[in-house]
Amino acid sequence: MTSTFTIAIDGPAGAGKGTLARRLADHYRLNLLDTGLTYRAVAYALIQHALPLDNVSAAETAARQVDLAKLDRAVLSAHSVGEAASKIAVYPTVRRILVEKQREFAKTPPGAVLDGRDIGTVVCPDADIKLYVTASADVRAKRRLAEIESIGGTANFTEILADIVRRDERDMGRADSPLKPAADAHLLDTSEMAIEAAFLAAMAVIDDVLAKRNKA
């Protein structure tokens, strides 16, 4: 049997889990999957075909067509696509199709870092490491505003904050696979922590697990 190593990272939008996932995948030479892009790809397909987001059978068809090798971050990263993604993400049948693909990805040697909302709880409950990355809504809204401004855009802080709070409510409040830390997740609050510090803290947790495993 080939062994794989899985790092599950969950947390709300804008907590810094994407950057952390990338750094960890580079450092430990693991595959990387931003599972948010899979939900975004489904929402984007519906938007492209001018279909309503509550058309569950169209969403299921789009989910079956998602190709993990062809997720285009540039196209899918629009704020409106993220908002739409959180609406189709409430449908259990759509989730099941995407989760199946995500699990296959995780099983591919040498293993992977997956980030999302339900990785430690549903997609990879046996992950070697589980991290729950969070930050206050205020800090996440400030980061998002800075990100938009850094590429020459303009946005309104109050509106961004309201969006974040609404998305949190939808992701944490849904019946199927709500966003929550797995019981055995390590919590990382990045409210007052730069990404480098979060990376170092995550590395300490992972290296500790690896050291214990090597001794066993």
Which positions touch ligand C5P (CB under 6 A)? 13, 35-36, 39-40, 82, 85-86, 89, 116-118, 167, 171
Q: Which helix (H) or strand (E) holds 154?
A: none
Nearer to ligand C5P, 28 or 121 (CB): 121
Nearer to ligand C5P, 110 or 173 (CB): 173
Nearer to ligand C5P, 8 or 206 (CB): 8
Strands 31-34 and 111-116 come out as: parallel
- Minimum CB separation of residue 17 from ligand C5P in Å reads 8
- Minimum CB separation of residue 63 from ligand C5P in Å reads 12
- Minimum CB separation of residue 209 from ligand C5P in Å reads 22
Contact in structure between 24 and 204 (CB atoms under 8 Å): no
What DSSP line would sit under 3-64, residue for residue? --EEEEEE--TTSSHHHHHHHHHHHHT-EEEETHHHHHHHHHHHHHTT--TT-HHHHHHHHH
Nearer to ligand C5P, 173 or 200 (CB): 173
Return the bridge partners of 112, or none. 6, 31
User: Cα separation of 168 and 179, whole Å?
Assistant: 8
- Minimum CB separation of residue 102 from ligand C5P in Å reads 7
- Minimum CB separation of residue 138 from ligand C5P in Å reads 18
Nearer to ligand C5P, 1 or 67 (CB): 67
Longest Cα separation, the chain:
56
Q: What is the CA radius of gyration of the chain?
A: 17
Number of Cβ atoms within 10 Å of the Cβ of 25? 19
Q: What is the DSSP letter of 185?
A: P
- Minimum CB separation of residue 84 from ligand C5P in Å reads 9
Nearer to ligand C5P, 1 or 69 (CB): 69
Contact in structure between 82 and 160 (CB atoms under 8 Å): no
